[in-house]
Amino acid sequence: MKKLIYILFVALLSVTAGCSKIDYEINDAYETANITGITIYATSENPVNIIESFEIDMENAVVEAFVPEGTDLTHLRLVLTISTGATITPALSGFTDLSTPKEYTVTSPNGIKQTSWKVIVSITPPGGVGNE
């Protein structure tokens, strides 16, 4: 008899647990598709961030970075930090030509939001940024 009661109890527990509905709140961070940071390396032998200054314009989805005079913009390694769990296309790999603006699409983890970002890398003007 105890065995039968135990089996019925387990069956009832399984049915009850299987029917309960749990609503999960999604963290707002998982609904964003932003670029939040930028790093640029000139060589793989000396992986030092060469950016002198940068600005991320969230409203217009533009990242602008300034590197030292004499930097070869056609052979740089770009590293972008993006929203938690987001993906970026095209994928960042190896060295790339940043002498012209590049377009990247960041997709939120839930796949609902996509933002097209423009990344612009320029030589720091004489006297620094804002002193042209």
Report yes or no on 18 lying in a domain.
no
Report yes or no on 114 lying in a domain.
yes
pLDDT of amino acid 59: 97
State pLDDT tens for residues 108-121.
Answer: 999 999 999 999 99
Report yes or no on 88 lying in a domain.
yes
How many domains does the chain fold into?
A: 1
Residues whose CB falls within 8 Å of the CB of residue 94, separated by 6 or more in sequence, listed in order: 77
CATH of the domain at 111: 2.60.40.4120
Report yes or no on 36 lying in a domain.
yes
pLDDT of amino acid 23: 64
Report yes or no on 16 lying in a domain.
no
Report yes or no on 45 lying in a domain.
yes
State pLDDT tens for residues 54-99.
Answer: 999 999 999 999 999 999 999 999 999 999 999 999 999 999 999 9
C-alpha distances in Å from residue 98, one per residue of 17, 22, 28, 109, 113: 55, 48, 32, 27, 26
Domain that holds residue 117: 28-123
State pLDDT tens for residues 11-44.
Answer: 666 666 655 566 666 666 678 999 999 999 998 7
